[in-house]
A = this chain, B = another copy of it.
Amino acid sequence: MRIDKLAVIGVGLIGASCALALRAAGGVSRVVGVGRSQGNLDRALARGVIDRGVLLADDWTPEVADADLVLIAIPAAQYRPVLSALGNVLHERSVVTDAGSTKQDVVLAARETLRSRLPQFVPGHPIAGNEHSGADAGDPSLYVGRQVILTPLPETSPDAYALVADFWTACGARIARLDPARHDQVLAAVSHMPHLLASALVSELASRKDGAEYFGNAGSGFRDFTRIAGSSPEMWRDIALANRDALLVELAAYRTALDALALSIEHGDCAALDTMLSRASTARRQWGETAGGIAASASAAK
């Protein structure tokens, strides 16, 4: 696969890593970056992430309309004006994809804005990232061995789907395909819940008068459990709101599990604690030996 012109809207960790990965694979000739901050675009230019930068506040559409592939890598809550503009100007042969953490809201926005260009849109979500942000955080190996979930619509053109799948494969990723609603359910449980649960713990401790003594005695278990709580509040607020229904289901299921745990501890119920802890330990160790677990662990060494 070779793309002549790639447009990356949002040159942060995700977008910059894609551009660098595709460049490293020799899969692209020119990269145009569109972003909110001139400083970040300048850094992306200096690092060779992009060849040309345009501000979102300026008229960026002429630079993007004829791109072979447009990757939207900004927070999903900010998609609508971008998609609307693309719906007006996008060439017939251009393909659009995105990297948003939720998919039903993105699909809804695309349906309402892209109109005749809807078949050219392939919603996607790379299961990769870290707590860093900005073009400086771009890493050409971010997607190696990682999973990218594509959630095509009934209308999605098979050629558009194939191009986006090839694009991610060239970046080193594996492709999975899910229905948008199922994507949001699954990610609520394995991604959004861990983030919110870790943040809730840290926030609760930080609000205590004697919080410093708690943080002062925290070790490596706390470090790993809470790493994701250091992520962008803005991004996770948007995800929590966008995936509201699935998250409320997951939160209810989790609170039921915690109620059972509290009862087990209160009553000294060894057998119930053993069952829960053993099931968790076995499942976690098994997951660590799967392709996804191995890829996720390999990236931990960085």
Chain A residues near B (Cβ < 8 Å): 127-130, 146-147, 149, 176, 178, 182, 186-187, 189-191, 193-207, 211, 213-234, 236-237, 240-241, 244, 247-248, 251-255, 257-259, 261-262, 264-266, 268, 270, 273-274, 276-288, 290, 292-293, 296-297, 299-301
Contacts and interface: CB of A to CB of B under 8 A. Distances in A.
A292 B229 contact: no
Contact of A190 (B127, B217, B233, B299): B217
Given A216-B292, A244-B268, A224 B227 contact: yes
From DSSP, what is the main secondary structure of chain A's interface residues? helix
A230 to B, nearest CB: 4
25 contacts: A128-B219, A129-B219, A189-B214, A190-B219, A191-B218, A191-B219, A194-B222, A194-B226, A198-B225, A200-B258, A203-B257, A203-B279, A205-B283, A218-B287, A223-B297, A224-B224, A226-B287, A230-B281, A233-B277, A233-B278, A233-B280, A241-B270, A241-B273, A244-B266, A301-B301
A283 B244 CA distance: 25
Given A220-B300, A279-B207, A186 B202 contact: no
Contacts of A201: 193-194, 197, 254, 257, 280
A287 to B, nearest CB: 5
A134 to B, nearest CB: 15
Nearest to A237: B273
Given A194-B201, A215-B286, A237-B274, 15 more contacts: A127-B217, A147-B216, A176-B216, A190-B217, A190-B219, A204-B254, A207-B279, A215-B290, A218-B292, A220-B300, A229-B281, A240-B265, A241-B265, A241-B270, A255-B262
Number of copies: 2
A300 B261 CA distance: 29
Contacts of A216: 147, 176, 290, 292
A225 B205 contact: no
